[in-house]
Amino acid sequence: MTATALLPFPPDRSRGGGWFGRTRRSWADRRADREHEQECWAFAEHLRFVWRDACEGVGVSRTTDTATGPTVRTPRVGRIVVDRPTTVLVELLPGQEPQDLSRVGDRLAHSLGFETLRVVPHGGRWVRVELLDQDPLTEPFALPRITVGTCQDPVLLGRDEFGDALGHTFADAAHVALQGQNGAGKSQFAYGLLAQLAAADDVRIAGSDITGLLLGCPYDGTVHRPWQATGTADLEEHAALLERLVGVMDERLAALPDRVDKIEPSPAVPLFVVVVEEFPGLLRAAGAMPKLGRGERSVLDRIRAANLRLLSEGRKVGFRVITLAQRAEAEAMGGGYARDQYALRLSFRVPGDSLEMLHGPAVRELAERHATAEPGVAVLSAPGRDVVRVRVPYLGAYAEYCDRIAMTARKEP
């Protein structure tokens, strides 16, 4: 005999347990809903109570001297919605901006019992504060098997600290600077970026790579390989390759029609993604070469001059430079003017002064935490976007990168 046989009314499987089961579940559901509403109300009241102390603690309050003594004002809490994420509607104090809360977001979230928060303008002085109970940057995620068919399509850069995916379209006129210590994820990110671009009909992946890992062998037999120089055995080859790219750029500039100031990339006129892997190492190696005779240009000067021209003149005629360095100081990037040409900037784990060097003083509060960031976590800045921390996708072992290039990159005719 089973327990089911002891029930006076066997459950009607076809009708969800019969009227008795439905009535019992309906009563239980209503009771659970009432308890949930009470818990949400109590939690919302708790947030209202601790909000004031949290704002005072992180410095977004304002103290006014009155006849009865100092009065502390904090951003006023409106409606609270307890959900995923929990949302608090907040009225900022006069003179405050949403960035004033964002700058102390983590500290404010921790005081409220959450991991981080996002501030979204709502209207007037009101903002919507979304409280997140988990940091999306803590968990690595794999790069999907995606490629783009054209430079007009966005590639996946990663996901930000709010879990939103970030993309970048290489047709946009933006050079890319990557810096980071060894093992911080810089090369892994570049693998994923190029693996997405290699199949595009209107893209050529070109450049200089003294390591021979990012470019070179993985591209053998593809349309990209003739535009690449690798290794340190022949540094003259690197200078000649960059100068050849400058020659293509000059031809395009000269061929621009009247009343047109930029080209639209196409399979016939492809966009060149010029990758310069470990550019400071390339400059050091070229600088160590024997000096030439009077009147002869050194390989170092040729590399610097060609790189600077690609950065300063190539954006309107289909050239995008991606430069990788462990530390993006001015000299290592070919000079301060050259470093200023990079619009999209990512910094993986670096000391605080290196972070501020590339992204400016706005990242000063991130410097201490980012100095010990996990591999694959970067600080990103771009035109029209606030500085944000991101988790970049993980492609896998180096062999996976080689396999994806072999499978997806366009082959030589």
Binding residues for ATP: 180-187
- With 0-12 / 13-18 / 19 or more C-beta atoms within 10 angstroms meaning exposed / middle / buried, residue 405 is buried
Q: Are 85 and 132 in contact (CB under 8 A)?
A: yes
Measured distance CA(88)–CA(129) in Å, rounded: 5
Q: Give the DSSP per-residue string, 207-225.
A: EEESSSTTTTGGGTTBTTG
Which amino acid type is present at position 398? Y
Strand (E) or helix (H) holding 273: strand 271-277
Could you check whether the bond before residue 85 is cis, i.e. omega within 30 degrees of 0?
yes
The stretches of 255-296 forming alpha helices (DSSP H) are: 279-287
Binding-site residues: 180-187
**In angstroms, rounded to a whole number, what is the distance separating the alpha carbons of residues 310 and 173?**
12
The token pair at 9 is 């009314």
Amino acid at 242: L
Neighbour count for residue 57 (Cβ, 10 Å)? 15
Q: At 378, is the secondary structure helix, strand, or coil?
A: strand
Strands 69-73, 203-209: parallel, antiparallel or unpaired by DSSP? unpaired
Please state, in angstroms and rounded to a whole number, the distance separating the CA atoms of residues 29 and 51. Answer: 32
- Other C-beta atoms lying within 10 Å of the C-beta of residue 99: 11
**String of b and e for 202-237 (b: at least 16 CB within 10 Å)?**
bbbbbbbbbebbbbbebbeebbbbebbbbeeeebeb
